[in-house]
Structure 1
């Protein structure tokens, strides 16, 4: 097997110190552990970054030529948002090892291939920074190959950590306000979760969306019912300040005007950003349903409605069949007849999920007829 000491075409365009280039330091290990299998079984070996873009492709020469015919080459984007179901795309999106057999691929031209991939995970931060993939015939998706790929991916992570290479992005240090995780509103800081009252969540969302700050009167006009005394508003803001003081890593609350002293991410805003980049699976990882379903605070209502609408529109227009089915698992999609009909349109004729979709549509139709 021909060995390449560097990935072809680092997609980020950075210098030799970037994470993509440093992944090349792991290639000798990958080659030593997988080359004999690739040679004997006619397989292709690939390393993808955390966006599922291929940065290294090698292996059996005839298998590589076949893979090139479907665009499986260095520099190509194999995220599920781009090409549908495939092993490296799913491994980086879900952080799980996976085998994909021929017809399980979304694209018909990929049906001659099977593949197995495992995420490359930073053992310190837990961040997925890429994926290791083996592609070829049926042997590429058998249990032995999957186990070998998983073991090699674990060895890569250990090798890079021992070499002091910063393989993954640093842990998130910014606090995040969770509004669309189908649970009580809360602040996440690292791995810790801190519950909030609905009112405090409304105040924090409003202030995070207005980083220049707001007066008590402006906050009252946006969040509180008409006629709420200013003393009530200021009292609640004081309680919020005290609550934030108990949460390590959360921003502080200053007054005159009322504003947050540090960044506060909002998961609903992040969902929209993922959708804008075509990262549908990442959006669904964050979006599990609105927490503040009964809120009357104008900024919160507008944000949640916009996020839900953008997600639905993206699912109906651009999502892969698998991603659309994940969307249909959301509580708010349970009675969405149009979305369920769209699933029938995009699913392959022999997809086993069609039976589930048809049954659900029949149940919806029965309920509608009974209601009328």
Structure 2
């Protein structure tokens, strides 16, 4: 240890013994105070390792920094050639996710829990390159004895945060750690800062490519909503497309979840998730609607659906799926839907593919696990069945345009069709009104062999 290192060690000993430290940087002194306040003991503490190996693998796979780690390794490759140097990349919570360095140095670092899955945030590990950089939100260097943990005083850590270039949020910290205090600390910190900026530039380029891809993919979605106020919003809140331009701010600050929301100016909007991971489709509710999903299928080979005031003609298969879902308010699994629509040999993969297509119409009104319709739901066949005990027979016959989806062979639809038809037939004959009986028998579906 050189003279500066010895001086820092004396200052640290004084501070830990309770004396007011002199000759220590204010930022380090403040970090020591925070570390003490977090309950970290300098001599009886090592950073925790809360993440198992499989947890680390999962976090790496999902983390935004995964796409820049190879660039960071290549850029700092020459700085890692010598012994005693290690490169770390953490997430925003201080968990070490990626580590690179020569094997002997990495093995020595394992003794102080400088390992993947360890948490080196300031509240867990005291003053350190990763932890204090994340606490301050700016590049920072911790030289040897400036570390709060005694086990870490052999290392000098130079770290810089990496931010999401679109939101400004800290994604993690890049740390270059060396064992000796050899006077090259300033160069190490500059190198880490420039490398972190390079990573942010790469992230910005990736985000811009995603932005343009989202614009290309979903421009037709907005084109189909001519005359309405609609937009496509990226998962990070960026408004990718808006029609008309400017009806939403450039960034969405409300929680992005499916359903309805109220903007700060009082306007009501409907939010729909376009894919599993986003983006989201946002449409202003410009007309007063009752909020119900309304389905019609009596006497029709292809049913219709009204969602948020917009009517859609359904395909035959979608008509069957929606009719079954209307009759099952608690929802059905993919396996259950397959049986109801395709029979005992129906495949769940087919159901899931059709539900993905149906979601383009229903949006947030179609929930999954189990599949179900969200919010008020009305269907002509269910409304008719509900009114059978008390409604006038003449009025019921006026509403009965024919059996539910008469050409459908789906088992669930056939059961619903027969149930409604037979209950109405029973009511007609039980009522005994001759005109109603004649009317029933004269209808194409009134003869027993026509159902």
Q: Same fold (TM over 0.5)?
A: no
Larger radius of gyration: 2
TM-score, length of structure 1 as denominator length: 0.41
Higher helix share: 1
